[in-house]
Amino acid sequence: MNLTNKALLRDKGYIDGAWVDADSGETLEVTNPATDEVIAVVPKMGAAETRRAIEAARVAQKLWKRRPAKERSNILRKWFTLIMENQEDLAQIITDEMGKPLTEARGEIAYGASYIEWYAEEAKRVYGETIPAPSDDKRIVVMKQPIGVIASITPWNFPNAMITRKIAPALAVGCATLMKPAEQTPLSALALCELAEQAGLPKGLINCIIGDPVAIGGEMTANDTVRKVTFTGSTGVGRLLMKQSSDTIKKLGLELGGNAPFIVFDDADLDAAVEGAMISKYRNSGQTCVCANRLYVQEGVYDAFAEKLAAKVRELKVGNGLDDGVVQGPLIDMKAIEKVEDHVADALAKGGEIVCGGKRHALGKSFFEPTIIKNVTKEMKVAREETFGPVAPLFKFKDAEDVIEQANDTEFGLASYFYSKDMSNVFRVAEELEYGMVGVNTGLISNEAAPFGGVKQSGLGREGSKFGLDDYLELKYVCLSEI
């Protein structure tokens, strides 16, 4: 990897301010999915290292929570500045370890850093309240206090931003943290630790454990010192962590799977809808939990939308994310390719028709052709499961009632999108969609000022915005009585 700032390429875990190997000496290889090249070898840690990180965080938090909010804010601000100064190198690390095109990786660095900047500011605004008491001899004071030690587990699809979105609010309010990044993308996490250290974050407040997910997750959830587990990833693992956390009654933040509907009404601006679909569906090659998974197009514009979308999709350049002009990188691994192939084959067997793409890309490895399928029905896997790949299945619908029922017919409830110019339709549909987030006439909804999160089996809690701060705070009620 050809980085300007070589200090960013760390290949050890980070516990209590020290760069460390696994107790066992075992290691994991990090590979570039575009080339299959091994780009780093990192330690494979387990429960014992996790316990040490938790203890370091416990000790560090005692002092950190007492630091004035302004001091915590200044350190976070410095961290933000360092990240932006190193944006190019950090973006290259992302592209090398998970494949997304460099332009998207640069965007992720700015997006991830925006959560640190935002929470550096919000750190100073953790207001309590006084409440009028029901009797004259009492006063009710409500204070907000940091929860304590926070453990985070994050996925490979946003190796930087999913970490900062969790760690920044935690540190801002006075919590201490330990993180377990996905084993496919530990390098972005370690680079963030390096820059946090350079920003002056005291040791023990941020720790990074890489390795066996079952052992690390087991310790994080069983250990009483950890008061909150925050996770982004599949619903299956989220459910498991929730079960495991029940013995110690932890708070949970869960950002889980989605099955986002993207609805185009007859009255929509069709070009805008196509542009939104391109962003929402093909961003990160379809590998985000808010990616459009089911595209519902009203009868009157179905064929026109399919044609316009296909014209854009055929232009997408697939390849190594470091190469000029590439906008679609490889999928994360061959398991991901097999899932996408299975969804496409299932749709074709049940009457779906390929408009473009539909198979592995000629480049080989885990590259897949950007794909559109039409004549899709609710019996197909693409209707029920998150494909997590560059496949746009087009469903046809009659009217608003019909499409709302189909859109809500899923156990998931993360992101949803629709395009319409009729204001009465806009309000009604936005209210009726059972989702935590609704994009109206836009395919891109994520930013640091907005509450990101889902309903139903898409998770618990919100990340980003002023609401995201509350997830790292406990309310303490103090009752003052006259004597």
Ligand X SMILES: O=C(O)CCCC(=O)O
Residue recorded with tokens 């909150």 = 228
Binding of residue 151 to ligand NDP (CB under 6 A): no
Decide which of ligand X, ligand NDP, none touches 182; Cβ closer than 5 to 8 Å per partner kind.
Answer: ligand NDP
Binding of residue 463 to ligand NDP (CB under 6 A): no
Decide which of ligand NDP, ligand X, none touches 237; Cβ closer than 5 to 8 Å per partner kind.
Answer: ligand NDP
Interface of this chain with ligand NDP, residues 334 to 353, rule: CB under 6 A: none
Q: Is 350 left (phi over 0), alpha (psi -120 to 50) or beta?
A: alpha
Minimal distance, residue 339 CB to ligand NDP, in Å: 6
Q: How far apart are CA 350 and CA 323, in angstroms?
A: 38
Q: Which is nearer to ligand X, 57 or 162 (CB)?
A: 162
Q: How far apart are CA 16 and CA 21, in angstroms?
A: 13
Identify which range of 84-92, 96-104, 164-172, 230-238 contacts ligand NDP by CB under 6 A: 230-238
**How many Cα atoms sit within 13 Å of 106 on the Cβ side?**
7
Decide which of ligand NDP, ligand X, none touches 290; Cβ closer than 5 to 8 Å per partner kind.
Answer: ligand X
**How many Cα atoms sit within 13 Å of 283 on the Cβ side?**
21
Q: Using CB under 6 A, count the residues that bind ligand NDP.
A: 23
Minimal distance, residue 168 CB to ligand X, in Å: 14
Q: How far apart are CA 279 and CA 176, in angstroms?
A: 35
Known catalytic residues? 255
Count other C-beta atoms under 10 Å from residue 377's C-beta.
14
Q: Out of 56, 120, 151, 153, name the contact with ligand NDP by CB under 6 A.
A: 153
Alpha helices per DSSP H over 370-443: 381-384, 400-408, 423-432
Minimal distance, residue 16 CB to ligand NDP, in Å: 21
Residue 66 identity: R
Decide which of ligand NDP, ligand X, none touches 454; Cβ closer than 5 to 8 Å per partner kind.
Answer: none
Residue at shortest CB range from ligand X: 446
> Which residues would be at the binding site for ligand X (CB under 6 A)?
155, 157-158, 162, 232, 288-290, 446, 452
Q: Which is nearer to ligand X, 340 or 403 (CB)?
A: 340
DSSP at 157: S
Interface of this chain with ligand NDP, residues 200 to 219, rule: CB under 6 A: 213-214, 217
Decide which of ligand NDP, ligand X, none touches 267; Cβ closer than 5 to 8 Å per partner kind.
Answer: none
Phi, psi torsion values for 161, nearest 5 degrees: -65, -30
DSSP at 463: B
Contact 460, 309 (CB under 8 A): no
Q: How far apart are CA 120 and CA 137, in angstroms?
A: 39
- Nearest Cα neighbor of 389 from 311, 315, 280, 281 is 281
Q: Which is nearer to ligand NDP, 118 or 412 (CB)?
A: 412
Q: Which is nearer to ligand X, 98 or 187 (CB)?
A: 98
Q: How far apart are CA 265 and CA 297, in angstroms?
A: 6
Minimal distance, residue 111 CB to ligand X, in Å: 7
Decide which of ligand X, ligand NDP, none touches 8; Cβ closer than 5 to 8 Å per partner kind.
Answer: none
Interface of this chain with ligand NDP, residues 277 to 306, rule: CB under 6 A: 289
Strand partners, 40: 30
